[in-house]
Chains A and B, each alone.
Chain A
Amino acid sequence: MPELRKDPVLGRWIIISKERRKRPTDFLVEHIEGSGGFCPLCPGNESSTPPEVYAFRYKEGVSDGPDWQVRVVPNKYPALVIEGDLAKEGVGLYDQMNGIGAHEVIIESPNHEENFADFAPDKMALVFKAYQERIIDLSKDPRFKYVMIFKNHGRAAGASLEHSHSQLIALPILPRMIVSELAGAQSHYTYKERCIFCDIIRQEIQQDERIVCQNDRFITITPFAPRTPFEMWILPKRHSSAYFSQSEADILALAEIFSETLQRLSRCIANVPYNFVLHTEPLRSGGLKHYHWHFEIVPKLTSIAGFEWGSGFYINPMPPEEAAGYLRESYKN
């Protein structure tokens, strides 16, 4: 019989369809080669991008020169623009404002061919450090309330260019997902005076059914009510609501577990397209007792169709306990 499961933070229901149960090899992943040709993100082509807003170079170099390891540039053709006032207004029932925001691209490596999942942890840490630096810088702009950081890997997950990159959008409003997460977490805190994510971590360690891997500082789990097969969350074990406040040692430990998590995923399903999104507190929150920053990794293995759009229920053919089992075993094979 299928099972309905409720996400404890969002109150979102998921259908775990055990009848449609699948093994990792049952998921068909179409490997699409990159189209090749000139790449605007490669070293030497810096003039194809807007001037960098951040870069990491081992040796001191010229801004927009080619010796970078990680480079962050504004989007050349942004959906939101950085200059101007919000000019909020109401038109009858409807609210509107100018499309102000920052849209940036984090170029994760100078190497066009290198896959993010194959980065060594110290190299991946440079990317996570860049995320921190950009959040700190953008938080100085009072027009922005939230910085959303995400990665699309693979065409099916929305990546348009094969050169490894992630994106950042600073928004003048809080995304609905974060509003819902904050509200769910606040409700738990009001009742129990504990962070719901800290409670989840405690319970997952106790039950030991959905843990994928862990180190001293972080844990990767398949959540109790995942939207897709092999959805994973990476959470700091110590309570923290602000991603930007992590120490260098935290960032290296994050890179280690992130690298291991993606390696496990790709050993289960080669070339799997995925998205990951950083969930962190709104800018200038000053630290929240009820919220806990984390990454959510969502492989693109199922499609959202009429039922999901109409009902808001996701159908997942892979129980998270089984997914965690496959992911744990993947390192032994």
Chain B
Amino acid sequence: MKKILLVDDEESIQIVYREEFEDEGYQVISALDGQTGLAKFKEDEPDLVILDIQMPGMNGVEVLRQMKMIKASVPVILSSAYQEFKQDLGTWASDEYVVKSGNLDELKNTVRILLGKK
């Protein structure tokens, strides 16, 4: 079973994403902030990461750049409610950038494609 690490400070997002991705047949582990996300990335060795950008403490782009230093081959999807973070060239370290939406089809497709590539 493929393992997805979800890093997002919104608990409601965590609940919805967990339910939807577990239904898709993935194991979901989660973290509510960047530091914890980074620790779980090292310990739990996920197959893919879904990472929020705007979080207290370490922001998602900083977390992303650290994750890619540790293991660049693990695909990371940046998932934010805002388009404007795309201006930050640090986001280029990600494999995809998906704007959050009530409909998770785009995110699910992106996960499928990236995990299929591995």
B93 at the interface (CB under 8 A from A): yes
Q: Are A49 and B92 in contact (CB under 8 A)?
A: yes
Q: Are A48 and B93 in contact (CB under 8 A)?
A: yes
Query: Residue among B62, B65, B69, B89 with the most chain A CB within 10 A?
Result: B89
B112 at the interface (CB under 8 A from A): no
| Total count of chain A residues near the partner, CB < 8 A | 17
Q: Convert B56-68 into 0s and 1s, putting 1 for each residue whose CB lies closer than 8 angstroms to a CB of A.
A: 0000011011111
Query: Out of A37, A38, A160, which one reaches B89, CB within 8 Å?
Result: A160
Q: Are B86 and A161 in contact (CB under 8 A)?
A: no
Q: Are A160 and B72 in contact (CB under 8 A)?
A: no
Q: Are B65 and A37 in contact (CB under 8 A)?
A: yes
Known interface pairs A35-B65, A38-B68; A160-B88 also in contact (CB < 8 Å): yes
Which A residues lie at the B interface, using CB under 8 A? 35-41, 45, 48-49, 76-77, 79, 105, 160-161, 165
Shortest C-beta distance, B71 to chain A (Å), equals 10
How many angstroms between the C-alpha atoms of A330 and B89 in the bound complex?
A: 34
State the total of A-B contacts with C-beta under 8 angstroms.
50
Cross-chain pairs A/B with CB under 8 angstroms, 11 sampled:
A35-B61, A35-B90, A37-B62, A38-B68, A39-B65, A40-B90, A76-B91, A77-B86, A79-B87, A161-B88, A161-B89
Judged by DSSP, the binding face of A is loop
Shortest C-beta distance, B42 to chain A (Å), equals 14
Closest 3 CB pairs of A and B: A37-B65, A38-B68, A40-B92
Query: Residue among B61, B87, B88, B92 with the most chain A CB within 10 A?
Result: B92
Chain B residues near A76 (CB, 8 Å)? 91-92
Query: Out of A36, A38, A41, A165, which one reaches B72, CB within 8 Å?
Result: A38
How many angstroms between the C-alpha atoms of A37 and B87 in the bound complex?
A: 18
How many angstroms between the C-alpha atoms of A40 and B67 in the bound complex?
A: 13
Chain B residues near A160 (CB, 8 Å)? 61, 87-90
B41 at the interface (CB under 8 A from A): no
Q: Are B65 and A77 in contact (CB under 8 A)?
A: no
Q: Convert B80-112 into 0s and 1s, putting 1 for each residue whose CB lies closer than 8 angstroms to a CB of A.
A: 000000111111110001000000000000000
How many angstroms between the C-alpha atoms of A147 and B62 in the bound complex?
A: 31
Chain A residues near B92 (CB, 8 Å)? 40-41, 48-49, 76-77
How many angstroms between the C-alpha atoms of A235 and B51 in the bound complex?
A: 46
Query: Out of A37, A45, A48, A79, which one reaches B66, CB within 8 Å?
Result: A37
Q: Are B93 and A40 in contact (CB under 8 A)?
A: yes
CB closest chain-A residue, reference B66: A37
Q: Are B68 and A41 in contact (CB under 8 A)?
A: no
Chain B residues near A49 (CB, 8 Å)? 92
Chain A residues near B64 (CB, 8 Å)? 37-38
How many angstroms between the C-alpha atoms of A38 and B93 in the bound complex?
A: 7
Q: Are B89 and A79 in contact (CB under 8 A)?
A: no
Shortest C-beta distance, A130 to chain B (Å), equals 17
Q: Are B93 and A35 in contact (CB under 8 A)?
A: no
Q: Are B97 and A161 in contact (CB under 8 A)?
A: no
Q: Are B87 and A38 in contact (CB under 8 A)?
A: no
